[in-house]
């Protein structure tokens, strides 16, 4: 691999879980995305050029955590200079920290000529998720690194299956102006044990989702969005404002609906954009006094890549 001193990178937003695929399924989105420039440097210097807040301190950021883990493992010299242009709102459920972790792992691999496979970069990026959420999980970093729809079907050793998402699948993100409890909190409200009936319901939803992606069939994918375990617990804990109404509107307009990762962003999946659905969703948020916006986007086949 040819080493370089500087590299500019784009990392896509990602949506994790997709209903019943908690900590397993994820998908890369064409928008929004983050862009970064990483350079070799004698001393750590990282800055965020945008209004979105992103931690950049070497000891307290995803960037620094991934860099130091790779530096130690591979005996790398020097440090990094990072310039971040964040398009992904942090702490909203759209894979902001995964984008930072994936971009760092990708950049270090390129800058220092480590010749790591993309599947190995998922491991390094996953460490950064562990830094923010309390334990490593791969359902955002896997699609951020690999693109498409990913299934993390084993964690030790790490194994991820990547599938292309259908080209005609559309997604609508609903980003609301509510303060998000941390991902660690959103995980702390989940039940240790679940009724057998709920486990079966989730198995069926997840199976439908996986068959839909495997067969590239939008309608089967849309029918595969449901979750009797994680989303209801988070909604009860107040972490997914307006979730039940959003799901009801999704059913009425032919969209599959879910929380995007741990929320509070919600996401709908369908066959074509629907301004009527978007208007109805925004109206329902407005009636509850919650400011929100919708973003129409598509799956991204590309994961993190050099510009």
Which residues sit at the interface with ligand HSE, rule CB under 6 A? 16-17, 22-23, 133, 137, 139-140, 183, 186-187, 261-262
In the complex, the smallest distance separating the C-beta of residue 70 from ligand HSE, rounded to whole angstroms, is 21
Q: Nearer Cβ to ligand HSE, position 40 or 180? A: 180
Q: How far is the CB of 183 from ligand HSE (least distance, A)?
A: 5
What's the rounded Cα separation, in Å, for the pair 304 and 42? 25
Within 49-89, strands assigned E span 79-85
Q: Is 266 helix (H, G, I), strand (E, B) or coil?
A: strand
Q: Is 177 helix (H, G, I), strand (E, B) or coil?
A: coil
Q: How far apart are CA 276 and CA 302, in angstroms?
A: 30
Give the nearer residue to ligand HSE in terms of CB position, either 111 or 151: 151
Q: What is the CA radius of gyration of the chain?
A: 19
Q: Nearest residue by C-beta to ligand HSE?
A: 261
Interaxial angle between packed helices 62-74 and 96-111, expressed in degrees from 0 to 180 and rounded to the nearest 10? 30
Give the nearer residue to ligand HSE in terms of CB position, either 143 or 261: 261
Least distance to ligand HSE, CB of residue 76, Å:
27
Measured from the CB atom, the residue of 124 and 277 that comes closer to ligand HSE is 124
Q: Which is nearer to ligand HSE, 80 or 105 (CB)?
A: 105
Distance of CA 100 to the CA centre of its chain: 11
Strands 25-41 and 149-155: antiparallel
10 forms beta bridges with: 35, 305
In sequence order, the 6+-apart residues with CB closer than 8 A to the CB of 245 are 284, 288
Q: Which residues pair with 27 in a beta bridge?
A: 15, 149
- Strands 79-85 and 45-48, sheet pairing: parallel
Assess contact for 62 and 132: CB atoms under 8 A.
yes
Of the pair 188, 286, the CB lying nearest ligand HSE is at 188
The minimum distance between CB 180 and ligand HSE, in angstroms, equals: 11
Of 96 and 294, CB closest to ligand HSE: 96
Contact 20, 36 (CB under 8 A): no
Least spacing, CB of residue 168 vs ligand HSE, in Å: 26
Least distance from ligand HSE to the Cβ atom of residue 93, Å: 7
Rounded to the nearest whole angstrom, what is the least distance from the CB of residue 140 to ligand HSE in the complex?
6
């Amino acid at each position: 691999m040819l080493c370089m001193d500087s590299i500019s990178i784009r990392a896509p937003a990602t949506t994790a879980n997709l209903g019943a695929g908690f900590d397993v399924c994820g998908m890369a989105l064409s928008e929004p995305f983050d862009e970064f420039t990483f350079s070799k440097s004698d001393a750590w210097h990282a800055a965020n050029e945008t209004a979105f807040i992103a931690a950049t301190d070497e000891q307290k950021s995803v960037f620094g955590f991934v860099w130091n883990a790779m530096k130690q493992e591979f005996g790398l010299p020097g440090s990094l200079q990072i310039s971040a242009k964040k398009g992904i709102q942090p702490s909203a459920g759209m894979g902001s920290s995964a984008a930072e972790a994936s971009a760092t792992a990708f950049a270090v691999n390129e800058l220092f000529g480590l010749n790591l496979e993309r599947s190995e970069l998922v491991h390094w990026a996953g460490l950064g998720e562990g830094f923010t959420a309390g334990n490593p999980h791969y359902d955002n970093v896997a699609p951020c690194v690999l693109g498409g729809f990913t299934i993390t079907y084993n964690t030790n050793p790490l194994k991820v299956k990547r599938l292309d998402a259908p080209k005609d699948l559309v997604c609508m993100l609903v980003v609301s102006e509510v303060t998000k409890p941390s991902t660690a909190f959103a995980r702390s409200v989940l039940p240790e044990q679940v009724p057998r009936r709920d486990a079966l319901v989730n198995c069926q939803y997840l199976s439908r989702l996986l068959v839909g992606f495997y067969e590239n069939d939008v309608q089967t994918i849309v029918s595969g969005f449901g979750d009797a375990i994680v989303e209801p617990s988070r909604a009860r804990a107040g972490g997914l404002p307006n979730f039940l109404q959003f799901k009801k509107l999704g059913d009425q307009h032919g969209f599959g609906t879910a929380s995007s990762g741990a929320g509070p962003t919600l996401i709908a999946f369908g066959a074509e954009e629907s301004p009527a659905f978007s208007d109805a969703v925004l109206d329902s948020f407005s009636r509850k006094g919650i400011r929100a916006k919708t973003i129409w986007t598509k799956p991204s086949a590309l994961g993190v890549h050099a510009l």
